[in-house]
């Protein structure tokens, strides 16, 4: 039975997706106009947002009308372009708030790291599509990480840890949807989680057990010195795994030896990397962890942002105080109110209804991206949608969780809602690509 194909505008446009994206842009614009109103550079912020909105709309239409498959054919060109732009930042970029992350291009300023987030999805999708027959080989995972590593290193060099943080969930999401071996993914996830947990653990122990001279807390703190205690910990973990393997052999459980070798290796590598990250952390980065693991220790310092955000959201009630009427935002108590903590402004001024509306629109948009991936005409389009859906979901959870005090402060803005010209333009371009994948879901369209 032939498939019925709609060739008109109705068949080419995913209207629920357009509704969700348009609703987020409108709510984001209103929130920025309100949150930034007390800022001295308000006129400049409004002008930048309007220009970015116009450019973003143009790029959305470009992404909608331009065949997305060209990005697979020209993946190497895209990769080289991203590398050159990130290198240009390190050479001639401008510094703002300690980050050398912006390029001045005539009448506007551009942040290449924002482009890198979307480009890495397009590049990885092309690579994984070409390696479809060998997707379950561990070499595929290693090669994909090797592709991402140079871009990631250049972003960390700026340093922009917030943008770099989004790369890992994007990769895991795309690996999973591409059909990678679950054991390989679990090994990589175990390494990543162990690495992240080490700085959190050290920060928690330093603030809750500052004077410990014995016991488990003292022993764990000593491991941060990469000395004998760390070696003993790693050797102990290895011996424990080998003992477990020996027991399984004696009980004839037929367990694979590689699992008992991989577990201590992965955990040991994660511990060492985590200790290294912990030793390299700057004071302002440490304060973000302090605000998460020990918020009561420094209410007026490290935990001030999160505390004011919680007050703003809690004071909004069901209907909010109204736009331009939020006390926390309008009186300047809430820092970074038009960028990282704009969700708190929405919670205060539009209340529970406004906060839930943004969540509903985001979930609708992410769900439609997943649906577009399912009906994509090729594997490349499916993988692009998988990467973008994972990215938006991660940024939503992290930003909202940060504003509520449920996640560490990571400095990740809320796409389409937070102020940021580069972020808005590149995000709308990526949504245009999704719309294009939907419009070309059938070969006849």
CA quadruple 116, 117, 118, 121: dihedral positive or negative?
positive
Q: What band does 23 get if pLDDT is binned at 50, 70 and 90?
A: very high
Q: What angle do CA 385, 390, 396 make, to 5 degrees?
A: 125
Q: What angle do CA 123, 125, 126 make, to 5 degrees?
A: 65
- Quote the CA–CA distance of 173 and 178 in Å, as a whole number: 9
Helical H segments across 36-74, by residue range: 42-65, 70-73
Q: Is the pLDDT of residue 218 over 70?
A: no
Residue 417, pLDDT score:
92
Cβ atoms 444, 11 nearer than 8 A: no
- Stretch among 26-30, 54-58, 137-141, 241-245 having the lowest mean pLDDT: 241-245
Best CA proximity match to 414, nearest among 31, 14, 156: 31
CA quadruple 243, 245, 249, 252: dihedral positive or negative?
positive
Q: Is the pLDDT of residue 132 over 60?
A: yes
Q: What is the DSSP letter of 100?
A: E
Best CA proximity match to 167, nearest among 390, 11, 326, 374: 390
Residue 361, pLDDT score:
96
Q: Is the pLDDT of residue 5 over 50?
A: no
Helical H segments across 131-166, by residue range: 138-156, 161-165
Average pLDDT, the chain: 81
Residue 428, pLDDT score:
95
Report, as an integer, the average pLDDT of 6-30.
83
Report, as an integer, the average pLDDT of 48-71.
91
Per the structure block, which two tokens stand in for 341? 């903590």
pTM, whole model, 2 decimals? 0.84
- Quote the CA–CA distance of 171 and 177 in Å, as a whole number: 10
Per the structure block, which two tokens stand in for 246? 């020996």
378: number of Cβ within 10 Å: 16
- Quote the CA–CA distance of 432 and 12 in Å, as a whole number: 12
**Whole-angstrom Cα Rg for the chain:** 24
Contacts of 359 (CB under 8 A, 6+ apart): 396, 400
Report, as an integer, the average pLDDT of 228-234.
56
Q: H or E segment at 370?
A: helix 351-375
Residue 193, pLDDT score:
80
Per the model's pLDDT, the better-predicted residue between 38 and 207 turns out to be 38
Q: What band does 9 get if pLDDT is binned at 50, 70 and 90?
A: very low
Per the model's pLDDT, the better-predicted residue between 429 and 6 turns out to be 429
* 262 phi, psi to nearest 5 deg: -70, -40
- Quote the CA–CA distance of 326 and 348 in Å, as a whole number: 6
Q: H or E segment at 166?
A: none
- Quote the CA–CA distance of 187 and 262 in Å, as a whole number: 8
Burial class of 431 by CB neighbour count within 10 A (0 to 12, 13 to 18, 19+): buried
Task: Find the length of the chain.
Answer: 445
- Quote the CA–CA distance of 385 and 379 in Å, as a whole number: 10
- Stretch among 24-28, 213-217, 322-326, 357-361 having the lowest mean pLDDT: 213-217
Q: What band does 235 get if pLDDT is binned at 50, 70 and 90?
A: low
Q: What band does 29 get if pLDDT is binned at 50, 70 and 90?
A: very high
Residue 41, pLDDT score:
83
Name the maximum alpha-carbon separation found in the chain.
77
Per the model's pLDDT, the better-predicted residue between 276 and 361 turns out to be 361
Per the structure block, which two tokens stand in for 131? 């390696």
- Quote the CA–CA distance of 394 and 305 in Å, as a whole number: 21
pLDDT tens string 77-104: 999 999 998 898 888 877 776 667 777 7
Residue 3, pLDDT score:
43
pLDDT tens string 241-260: 666 666 666 666 555 555 56
Q: What band does 162 get if pLDDT is binned at 50, 70 and 90?
A: confident
Q: Is the pLDDT of residue 6 over 60?
A: no
Report, as an integer, the average pLDDT of 13-31.
93
Look at the block and give the residue holding tokens 């990480």.
145
Cβ atoms 101, 158 nearer than 8 A: yes
pLDDT tens string 266-293: 777 777 777 777 776 666 666 666 666 6
Residue 404, pLDDT score:
86
% of the chain with per-residue pLDDT over 70: 77
Residue 194, pLDDT score:
79
- Quote the CA–CA distance of 142 and 147 in Å, as a whole number: 9
């Amino acid at each position: 039975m032939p498939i019925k194909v709609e060739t008109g505008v109705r068949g080419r446009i995913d209207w629920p997706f357009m509704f969700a994206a348009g609703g987020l842009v409108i709510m984001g614009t209103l929130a920025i106009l309100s949150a930034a109103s007390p800022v001295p550079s308000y006129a400049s912020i409004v002008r930048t947002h309007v220009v970015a909105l116009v450019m973003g709309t143009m790029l959305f239409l470009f992404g909608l009308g331009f065949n997305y498959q060209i990005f697979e054919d020209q993946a190497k060109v895209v990769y080289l372009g991203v590398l050159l732009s990130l290198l240009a930042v390190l050479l001639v970029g401008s510094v703002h708030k300690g980050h050398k992350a912006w390029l001045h291009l005539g009448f506007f300023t551009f942040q290449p790291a924002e482009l890198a987030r979307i480009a890495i999805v397009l590049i990885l999708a092309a690579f994984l599509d070409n390696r479809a027959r060998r997707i379950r080989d561990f070499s595929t995972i290693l090669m994909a990480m090797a592709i991402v590593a140079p871009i990631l290193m250049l972003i960390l060099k700026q340093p922009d840890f917030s943008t770099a943080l989004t790369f890992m969930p994007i990769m895991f999401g795309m690996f999973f949807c591409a059909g990678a071996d679950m054991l390989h993914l679990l090994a990589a996830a175990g390494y990543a989680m162990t690495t992240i947990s080490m700085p959190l653990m050290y920060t928690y122990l330093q603030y809750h057990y500052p004077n410990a001279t014995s016991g488990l807390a003292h022993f764990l703190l000593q491991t941060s010195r990469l000395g004998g205690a760390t070696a003993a910990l790693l050797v102990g973990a290895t011996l424990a795994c080998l003992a477990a393997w020996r027991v399984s052999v004696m009980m004839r459980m037929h367990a694979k030896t590689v699992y008992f070798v991989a577990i201590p290796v992965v955990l040991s590598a994660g511990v060492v990397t985590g200790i290294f990250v912990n030793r390299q952390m700057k004071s302002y980065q440490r304060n973000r962890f302090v605000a998460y693991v020990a918020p009561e220790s420094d209410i007026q310092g490290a935990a001030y942002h999160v505390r004011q955000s919680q007050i703003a959201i809690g004071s909004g009630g069901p209907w909010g105080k109204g736009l331009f009427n939020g006390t926390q935002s309008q009186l300047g108590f809430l820092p970074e109110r038009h960028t990282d903590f704009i969700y708190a402004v929405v919670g205060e001024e539009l209340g529970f209804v406004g906060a839930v509306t943004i969540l509903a629109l985001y979930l609708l948009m992410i769900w439609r991206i997943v649906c577009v991936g399912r009906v994509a005409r090729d594997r490349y389009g499916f993988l692009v949608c998988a990467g973008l859906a994972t990215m938006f979901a991660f940024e939503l959870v992290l930003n909202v969780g940060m504003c509520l005090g449920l996640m560490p402060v990571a400095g990740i803005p809320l796409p389409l809602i937070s102020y940021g010209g580069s972020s808005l333009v590149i995000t709308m371009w990526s949504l245009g690509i999704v719309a294009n994948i939907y419009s070309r879901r059938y070969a006849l369209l």
